[in-house]
Amino acid sequence: MQAQIQTGYGTVIGEDCSVGDGTRIWHFCNLYGCRIGRNCKIGSYTEIGKDVSIGDNCKIEAHVFIPQGVTIGDDVFIGPHTCFTNDKFPRANQNDNWQIIKTFIQDGASIGANSTILSGVTVGEKAMVGAGSIVTKNVEAGTIVYGDGAKKRGTIH
């Protein structure tokens, strides 16, 4: 049975994708080999790569790039223009030793607009990453981080 989803003009959803009921995907998105849960909102001009998993009730704003190797839990907010990476040593021509470095965004976390999340990072449950941050290391559950090198600035109560 096909899921009840809404898609915008110019959106490409690969046949190898799984999209949950109630999910809305706006204009000009590209989805390839990913799994998106129920009741999510995917903003325009977003790309979600192969083997990405997104939980239920997530909101992914416009112009977000989520490559292979990223796992996003339930109830997560990803702000506009957020960029995830999956390679610590990128090159134009990959060699035989190239590996995907996995990244995890746990349930209830929020990532502010224009943030960059480097590969190999885990953002803990209900953590908040401030807008414009560059996240280079793990973020503890329930903490607020922001800045270049995203430092702990507070906790969520």
SS (H, E, C) the chain: CCCCCEECCCCEECCCCEECCCCEECCCCEECCCEECCCCEECCCCEECCCCEECCCCEECCCCEECCCEEECCCCEECCCCEECCCCCCCCCCCCCCCCCCEEECCCCEECCCCEECCCCEECCCCEECCCCEECCCECCCEEEECECCEEEEECC
| Active site members | 63
